[in-house]
Amino acid sequence: MNRGTSLLAAGSILLIMVGQANTGLAAETFKVGVINQRAVMERTKAGQRALQELKEFTANQQRI
């Protein structure tokens, strides 16, 4: 590694360490969203098109 790369790596590590130390002090709450992918695929127009394309693709692959 040359000097520039070493300094960049050291700086990145320092920023990560500072960021990790900060998270313990702040302890902010956050929300987590959950998506039912099967329902999205079956109930939306785009999802239904994607499922149809997938069925066509698998049918073509099985013929090969």
When pLDDT is cut at 50, 70 and 90, the band that residue 26 belongs to is: low
- The model's pLDDT over 5-21, given as tens digits with 9 standing for 90+, comes to 676 677 777 777 766 65
Residues 16, 41: one domain? no
Residues 3, 21: one domain? yes
Q: Tokens 């090969």, residue?
A: 64
Q: Where are the alpha helices (DSSP H) in the chain?
A: 3-26, 37-43, 45-63
Q: Which domain holds residue 62?
A: 32-64
Contact assessment for residue 35 and residue 25, using Cβ atoms and an 8 Å cutoff: no
Q: Domain tally for the chain? A: 2
Mean per-residue pLDDT for 21-35? 74
Residues 20, 39: one domain? no
Please provide the average confidence, as pLDDT, over all residues in the chain.
80
Judge whether residue 29 has pLDDT over 80. yes
Residues 12, 24: one domain? yes
Residues 50, 23: one domain? no
User: Which of 47, 30, 29, 46 lies closest to 38, judged by CA?
Assistant: 47
Residues 4, 14: one domain? yes
CA distance 22 to 16: 10
